[in-house]
Chains A and B, each alone.
Chain A
């Protein structure tokens, strides 16, 4: 049975209503209003697309979102953007300050520019893509998050990283993976130095497969998984070794 035909105007209106983003201009509305509106979303909400204008380096933009909505932030943000994200797809069309995506649970965050210190710190799940460079302590204490950085990462990245994958298309700074647990690190460029207990490891077929899936997920098409080296834990710090007693 044919559906009741809609007039052109009705169709357009309906189309516009379901597709148009809810626009939040931070030069007009407060950050708290934005985050409160995002936190008020309930499962099945029709407000699935959000656009944030004029962030101008604001802190804590779109933190704690727990619904599968898409959020486009038009400009650069300050500290802690998209922290604790649980299911949203957040894109920053600019650069991000310290702590972007801190403790992400699930969902995705894409930073079109650079990210400052400790991007993705303590993240438990989801995918963080940084299309520019990330600075120091990227993925520090990561616990299950996947991080893909198109550029370089700074020193002390993946410090005490517990699980998840850190993929770097460029170079890594000093002390990569210091005191690392079971996170996997894949670096395509050069590594300035490895931290304590972090070693280069063999790239076996299952790692190539895993890495290729991550590159595909992050939309990286011009780079092959075989170009990367894998780094991980030598597992010599897992248990107390009496021979090291003098070091304390």
Chain B
């Protein structure tokens, strides 16, 4: 099964509530997947700061003193905000690549969840309720976000196998379904310079989109490409720095419901996920069409 949610705010007044709203949506779908859960929240990009969300199996050991050591290694100011097993590292945008490289040496056990100017990604094994509580997601502010609760089929139940998957700056993806040609597509993407952390099929979909966008396609065009290049079942919800998109495979057996009001665009695997959103009773609610790309940008 798996449960996926997405929320794209149009009304700035709702931004302080983004984390709470998205958490509520995800928790309502807990019985669609008890294995692991994750959320990506996009805050406003300032242009002069980049964020790298990292995870460690031993946070006490790995995050202690990291700010000082990393700042020294890359020659730029660094701050580290620890949240349970994750930490958000802030530095200047031009030092992101240097920081990623330095982390491999300074803290070899650290895994990078995602990076960019706007996105923060939190994911762990466990139920959505436990995961959003662990990372204090309900208190987070933002412009848009996506979330996932997983019933694993294609790879192991691990933190790295949880969604969202991020394979490019401020890009991430959640997936309900399973891909059957992911090994082939992964090989092609590796040949084109993409790198992978897992054996997971969804990571391939995320990397496919990042790769197409790196080749100059916009989000809509990249999503369009999934319909011909990815084989299998999928409903994807993706986030970029300023956008939010949805696409379903032509068979469309993985469920999807969307709602739009003047205040937001929302996605849920089921209508249950949307029932607590403000003004839902008067929202335009519809099922996204198969093989049709939907996207919104700020």
* Interchain CB contact under 8 A, B252 and A136: yes
* Interchain CB contact under 8 A, A154 and B290: yes
* Interchain CB contact under 8 A, B255 and A117: yes
Q: Considering the chains assembled together, what is the distance between the CA atoms of A58 and B31 in angstroms? A: 12
Q: Considering the chains assembled together, what is the distance between the CA atoms of A224 and B289 in angstroms? A: 29
Which of chain A's residues have a CB closer than 8 A to the CB of B287?
114, 116, 135
Contact of A97 among B253, B255, B286, B290 (CB under 8 A): B255
Contact of A57 among B252, B275, B289 (CB under 8 A): B275
Which of chain B's residues have a CB closer than 8 A to the CB of A98?
255
* Interchain CB contact under 8 A, B271 and A117: no
Contact of B270 among A97, A114, A136 (CB under 8 A): A97
How many positions in chain B have a CB within 8 Å of any CB in the partner chain?
Answer: 16
Which of chain A's residues have a CB closer than 8 A to the CB of B250?
155
> With an 8 A cutoff between CB atoms, is B213 at the interface?
no
* A114 touching B286 in the complex, CB below 8 Å, given contacts A97-B255, A98-B255, A136-B252: yes
Chain A min CB distance to B12 (Å): 28
Chain B min CB distance to A112 (Å): 13
Q: Considering the chains assembled together, what is the distance between the CA atoms of A95 and B289 in angstroms? A: 16
Number of A-B contacts (CB under 8 A): 44
> With an 8 A cutoff between CB atoms, is B285 at the interface?
yes
Which residues of chain A in 23-81 are interfacial with respect to chain B, using CB atoms and an 8 Å cutoff?
56-58, 76, 78-79
Which of chain A's residues have a CB closer than 8 A to the CB of B252?
117, 135-136, 154-155
Which residues of chain B in 213-267 are interfacial with respect to chain A, using CB atoms and an 8 Å cutoff?
250, 252-253, 255, 257
For the side of the interface on A, what is the size category? 10 to 19
* A57 touching B270 in the complex, CB below 8 Å, given contacts A95-B285, A98-B255: yes
> With an 8 A cutoff between CB atoms, is B83 at the interface?
no
* Interchain CB contact under 8 A, A56 and B272: yes
Q: Considering the chains assembled together, what is the distance between the CA atoms of A117 and B253 in angstroms? A: 8
Chain B min CB distance to A192 (Å): 11
Name the residue in B250, B255, B272, B290 with the highest tally of chain A Cβ atoms < 10 Å from its Cβ. B272
* Interchain CB contact under 8 A, B290 and A78: no
Interface string of A113-154 (1 = CB under 8 A from B): 110110000000000000000011000000000000000001
Q: Considering the chains assembled together, what is the distance between the CA atoms of A113 and B284 in angstroms? A: 11
Q: Considering the chains assembled together, what is the distance between the CA atoms of A152 and B77 in angstroms? A: 58
Ranked nearest first, the 6 interchain pairs of A and B with the lowest CB-CB distance are A57-B272, A57-B271, A56-B275, A135-B287, A76-B271, A78-B270
Given A57-B270, A135-B287, output 12 extra A-B contacts at Cβ < 8 Å. Answer: A57-B271, A57-B275, A76-B271, A97-B257, A97-B271, A113-B285, A116-B255, A117-B252, A117-B253, A117-B255, A154-B290, A155-B252
- Would you give 24 A-B contacts (Cβ < 8 Å), ordered by A? A56-B272, A56-B275, A57-B270, A57-B271, A57-B272, A57-B273, A57-B274, A58-B272, A78-B272, A79-B270, A95-B271, A95-B285, A97-B271, A113-B285, A116-B287, A117-B252, A117-B253, A117-B255, A135-B252, A136-B252, A154-B252, A154-B289, A154-B290, A155-B250
